[in-house]
Chain A
Amino acid sequence: MHQEYTVIEGDFTNAGTASSSVKKTLKQLGVAPQIVKRVVVALYEAEVNAIAHAYGGKVLVDIEADKIHMVVADKGPGIPDIAQAMQEGYSTARPEVRDMGFGAGMGLPNMQKNVDVLNVTSEVGVGTTVEMIVNFV
């Protein structure tokens, strides 16, 4: 089952559109609530990053009977040092983003914690792609 969503730079009001819709689908499938929660939290963080740090992008979701595969791909500045970005508390969030309650540097670590597979690839000046897999069993 394939779903696609577009995220727009700076459009924080629509952050969570993809994760809410995915949540509903997983509930319909009867996926265990704890797993649904992990998916939603991870996808939400990735959506927010594409909105806050990049110039928007696409969310591609593929749901199978035993796992969910999510890709959040953006056009943006990219991440120069991925290992550094993965550290808890590391953030380059601009002041106006911080004022909205983001920028604790916990997004990527949170994704890591909640998914079974996380691949972050990035090219400076081009964009970032976050790929995540969560198994249902």
Chain B
Amino acid sequence: MFYHALEIDEGNCIGCSRCMKICPTEAIRISNGKAFIMEDRCIDCGKCHEACPVDAIFIKQDDFKMVHEFPHSVALLPAVFLGQFPDDIRVSRIYAALKDLGFKHVYEVESAAAIYADVKHKYAREHEDDEPLISSFCPAIVRLIQIKYPSLVGNIIPVKAPLDISAMYVLKLLTEERGVPREEIGLFYVTPCAAKIAAVKAPVGEKRSLIDGVINMDALFNKVYRRIKEQGKGYAYTALQTPQLSADAILSTLTNGERRICLAKRSYAIDGIQNVMDFLDKLENDEVEGVEFLELRACDQSCAGALLSCENRFLCGERMYARARKAAERERNGEVARAREMDAYRDYLIENSFAEPAQARSMLTLDKDLSRAYQKLEKINKLKMYLPQVDCGMCGAPTCEAFATDVVCKQVGLTRCVFYQRHLERLDDITRQECLAATRSVWGEDPIGDNEPPEVK
């Protein structure tokens, strides 16, 4: 079973079904007036979180207090974190706030971008037969392929994320060069999205993550921003080394960031989950030829549009571009980017950056046994002919087809369909009480309470 970072707070959920309708993998149903997530279908993309009008879908994170439990707490920041802040807030102030909040060290995970690219290139050179190679950068995409495009799992490049490489590096640096005992080091990943949390807690193809805790980027942003505002003008801290990412590294999390430096003759960078699915459908049919590399990201504008971003995706993206332009200028002037500091451990990091390949776990398969699956599919097809195909969602499933599948595979009652109810009424085969009970089993008691409805003239 997948670990999921997304959870529904039943107390808050109003059962409005917006999440059900937007979920790209049809992983949400409504029952008893509440939404619930089918765990084997959820890819943690977070579309439901965006759509929820009452913030009932939340993203689990670790307790921030954990940061104080380690003498050497390390914040592993995604580059988009700095992109959250307005231009008038200088990096030194952000770092000062991070220090005050309890972090002794701060690293941007994209420091590993150069090594990460080298590992992918090495893999690509040795696996030309598996083309098109698909980047495993976005964990929601990896899960999407596992459940919906099982024939493509072998095309995913099985390497660890820049985050994992940075974590390995920081541990080496602190334990070997600074002599800090491992148990005094706490690695905290500041995550821009739910999928990355899930990947840290239950990594695809890896046994265990080095990360001790996960903090949501929006929560940290609020803490840092408040701190800066409280401290006023003169607030800055210079002892922490401020980040010196290369231009390539800064851009790597944005759309085209991997593609622009990949070595493939033909490649595509696709962002937005629907765009990705449209493309993978074609790719699976062998309709796209000669593709060597694919950069696929679940969010529009990639990580600049991440779920836990507090900033508009385009504003955040432009700040990162501005920063990359400055870095490129420094590189042209011969100042070496700090990303190269990892080169001291290059061989070690490359060697340890390969992961086990992802496994297929198709959500579409109706039964492990082919002939039983066949019988179920026949029933589903027969049912589909009776259903209205309007996808109204009144049955608590996103489409008539999904409902037919639930009826056959999960023994959901067919009377949940309001059209079927009318049908039975016509034949005098159902009582009004039974209709009411069926509708309430989806939407709960509230929408059709026992009070008199208002009079409308």
Per DSSP, chain A at the interface is helix
Interface-facing stretch out of B1-9, B120-128, B180-188, B362-370: B362-370
* Residue contact B362 to A40, C-beta cutoff 8 Å: no
A29 to B366, CA, bound (A): 6
CB neighbors of B among A24-39 (8 A): 24-25, 27-31, 33-34, 36-37
* Residue contact B370 to A65, C-beta cutoff 8 Å: yes
Q: Which of B150, B285, B371, B373 contacts A19 (CB 8 A)?
A: B285
Residue A20 interfacial (CB < 8 Å): yes
A91 to B367, CA, bound (A): 43
Residue B101 interfacial (CB < 8 Å): no
What is the interface of chain B, defined by CB distance below 8 A to chain A?
A: 150-151, 281, 284-287, 289, 360, 362, 364-368, 370-371, 373-374, 377-378, 381
Q: Which of A33, A41, A136 contacts B360 (CB 8 A)?
A: A33
For the A-B complex with A28-B364, A30-B368, A101-B289 known, give 9 more contacts whose Cβ atoms are closer than 8 Å. Answer: A20-B281, A23-B285, A27-B365, A28-B365, A29-B366, A33-B360, A37-B284, A37-B286, A136-B370
Min Cβ gap A134→B in Å is: 14
Q: Which of A33, A34, A40, A65 contacts B374 (CB 8 A)?
A: A65
Residue A100 interfacial (CB < 8 Å): no
A residues less than 8 Å from B289 (CB atoms): 101
Q: Which of B281, B284, B286, B373 contacts A30 (CB 8 A)?
A: B373
* Residue contact A1 to B364, C-beta cutoff 8 Å: no
Min Cβ gap A4→B in Å is: 13
Residue A109 interfacial (CB < 8 Å): no
A37 to B149, CA, bound (A): 11
Could you jot down 25 A-B contacts, CB within 8 Å?
Answer: A1-B377, A1-B378, A1-B381, A16-B285, A16-B287, A20-B281, A20-B285, A23-B284, A23-B285, A27-B364, A28-B373, A29-B365, A29-B366, A30-B362, A30-B365, A31-B370, A37-B286, A40-B284, A40-B285, A41-B285, A44-B287, A64-B374, A65-B370, A65-B371, A136-B370
Q: Mark A82-108, 1 if CB is under 8 A from B, else 0.
A: 000000000000000000010000000
* Residue contact B286 to A29, C-beta cutoff 8 Å: no
* Residue contact B285 to A44, C-beta cutoff 8 Å: yes
Min Cβ gap A136→B in Å is: 7
Min Cβ gap A72→B in Å is: 16
* Residue contact B151 to A34, C-beta cutoff 8 Å: yes
A36 to B150, CA, bound (A): 10
- Nearest opposing residue in chain B for A24, CB measure: B364
Assess A40 versus B360: contact at CB under 8 Å? Given A25-B377, A30-B373.
no
A residues less than 8 Å from B378 (CB atoms): 1
- Nearest opposing residue in chain A for B154, CB measure: A33
